[in-house]
Structure 1
Amino acid sequence: MQHGPAVRRRKLGAELRALRSRAGLTSGEAARLLGWHQSKVSRIETGSSGVKPSDVRLLLDAYGVEDDELRDLLLVLAGSQVAGREHWWHAYRGVLPPTYRDFISLESQASAMRTLETSVVPGLLQTPEYARAVTRAAVGAVDEERLDALVEVRLARQDVLRSDPPLRLSAVLDEAVLRREVGGPEVMARQLRRLLEAARLPQVRLQVLPFSAGAHVGITGPFVIFSFSSTSDLDVVVLDHMTSSLYLERKEDLKAYAEAFNSLRIHALSPEDSLDFIASLGDGA
């Protein structure tokens, strides 16, 4: 269990090691090609030290990696801005903790996201009013300028659902998420309508886990699984806590959470029945 930056270094190093092996090079041979000491290649591959995006480019060139999508993803893990895409969240460095910036970076590059939410609507599906109410409750006493900035970030993150290709979002929402009146009845009514609109998008799959399902595997708390189209070796589970986020990268952890999510989907209402359930709550709001 590691914090985000450590996981990113380890995953980047593991992928570079695999690419080197695929290219038929030893770490010593790779180092000689680039005029480096072998220890530098070893530190990069074990994730024991950070690596500059320029060094990652050199390694990818040396290994003959031409897959643009894979190159972009690995460069982003090294902290680079690639393919002309601005890391818009950098403008909010003064208000975003590093763990949140790291989460946004992964979210922006992932091809798919699976999430269990037990308390609030996923940030990617929140209305501005709902986002403001949730943010105010989460951060406590804060001036309006900082609150505005945090809400702007949450709404800007939603662009991943409209990108080309869009992020594929599969969300299981505990019934409590829909019944908790965040921001008051009018705000909640608009939020429910927003969920209905989002659930009809081809890239969004929304399911409700009703109270009648009883105790379930996700009862211990929410989680997010990020997946990447280039390689499953970069997949990661994110667990949010009040003051930080934890990242799980081991294959056995990924397997356990993937199985848990599949179990939750089986016990949840179907996407069609979930739409009807949300609509019925909206009618009563």
Structure 2
Amino acid sequence: MQHGPVVRRRKLGAELRTLRAGAGLTSGQAARLVGWHQSKVSRIETGTSGVKPADVRLLLDAYAVHDAQLRRLLLALAGSEDGDGRHRWWHAYRGVLPPTYRDFISLESQATAMRTLETTVVPGLLQTAEYARAVTRAAVDGLDEERLDALVEVRLARQHVLRADPPLELNAVLDEAVLHREVGGPEVMARQLERLVEAARLPQVRLQVLPFSAGAHIGVTGPFVIFSFSHTTDLDVVVLDHLTSSLHLDRKEDLEAYTEAFDALRFHALSAEDSSDFIAGLRQSR
């Protein structure tokens, strides 16, 4: 099983190797430029060892990489807390969030686009506070109110990516069951449906409903998320959530398989316009 830090380290190494080659440098020449032994450059490029953000900056300078957005992304992959000069807000919740969740938020905050299939609950980026509280209480047993409040705060803070400049592009396919499952009760669910109708109007959000009439489909194996990043598809990653951990897939064949699966789901789902009308109809019938 590959976890986020391992995947990001390998992706970072591959991207640095590509940038070095693009600069016309051998690993030995790059090492001499920054005052290292060649073996250190090789370990970084193969992802066999971690790399400090300061070392990434040295390499990017040596390779004459000046693109600010690319530098921020690569520094984030190295674990920089301020790749763009700003504190990562979720660090304030380190004592509350498990490592896999922090890792997911890190990917989400750096991605330019997110494709997600949800089969049980509304995507976190589109949840109301009441819905988020009900989902969190059900998912994590024995939560005290203070920790529950903190986790809901995190869920809502994550939604800032939809208001960022530029915003995250969210493409979500929801199984119809998501809309009928009364999380938190009828009133909470009614407000959640209203929230989905509002979100569907945002230009950066494309929301589609996969109706029961579609029958069995490739998504019955479970929900998944595909994160995409600017500049290169080599940094894209699929995340599968399990009860106690997350699985990260970054092999080309895995990405192609999940991309094809998502495209198939979109094809069988209602159009964005019909989906919005469908959700609004469910809301009015309550």
User: What TM-score, normalized by structure 2, do the two folds share?
Assistant: 0.99
- Alignment partner of 1:219: what SS? helix
Instruction: Look up the match of 2:190.
Output: 189
Instruction: Look up the match of 2:75.
Output: 75
Instruction: Look up the match of 2:3.
Output: 3
- Alignment partner of 2:221: what SS? coil
Instruction: Report which stretch shifted further, 272-281 or 79-88.
Output: 79-88
Instruction: State the one-letter code of the partner of 1:78.
Output: A
Q: How far is the alpha carbon of 1:215 from its aligned partner? A: 0.5
Q: How far is the alpha carbon of 1:276 from its aligned partner? A: 1.1
- Alignment partner of 2:32: what SS? helix
Instruction: Report which stretch shifted further, 54-63 or 271-280.
Output: 271-280
CA distance in 2, matches of 1:182, 1:46: 45
CA distance in 2, matches of 1:254, 1:19: 22
Instruction: Look up the match of 2:104.
Output: 103
Q: How far is the alpha carbon of 1:133 from its aligned partner? A: 0.2
Instruction: Look up the match of 1:139.
Output: 140
Instruction: Look up the match of 1:19.
Output: 19
Q: How far is the alpha carbon of 1:83 from its aligned partner? A: 2.0
* 1:71-124 superposed Cα distances (whole Å, 9 cap, x missing partner): 000000001112222200000000111111111011001000000000000000
Instruction: Look up the match of 2:46.
Output: 46
CA distance in 2, matches of 1:17, 1:261: 30
CA distance in 2, matches of 1:241, 1:64: 41
1:223 aligns with 2:246: no
CA distance in 1, matches of 2:35, 2:112: 35
* 1:154-205 superposed Cα distances (whole Å, 9 cap, x missing partner): 0000000000000000000000000000000000000000000000000000
Instruction: State the one-letter code of the partner of 1:160.
Output: V
CA distance in 1, matches of 2:183, 2:66: 48
CA distance in 1, matches of 2:231, 2:128: 31
Q: Number of aligned pairs? A: 285
Instruction: Look up the match of 1:32.
Output: 32
User: What TM-score, normalized by structure 1, do the two folds share?
Assistant: 0.99
Instruction: State the one-letter code of the partner of 2:90.
Output: W
Q: How far is the alpha carbon of 1:267 from its aligned partner? A: 0.0
CA distance in 2, matches of 1:111, 1:83: 15
CA distance in 1, matches of 2:247, 2:86: 27
RMSD between aligned residues: 0.7
Stretches of structure 1 lacking an aligned partner (at least 5 in a row): none
CA distance in 1, matches of 2:43, 2:85: 29
1:206-245 map, 5 Å: 206-245=207-246
CA distance in 1, matches of 2:101, 2:261: 24
Instruction: Look up the match of 1:164.
Output: 165
CA distance in 1, matches of 2:51, 2:68: 19
- Alignment partner of 2:171: what SS? strand
Q: How far is the alpha carbon of 1:140 from its aligned partner? A: 1.2
Stretches of structure 2 lacking an aligned partner (at least 5 in a row): none
Instruction: State the one-letter code of the partner of 1:168.
Output: E
Q: Aligned residues: percent identity?
A: 82
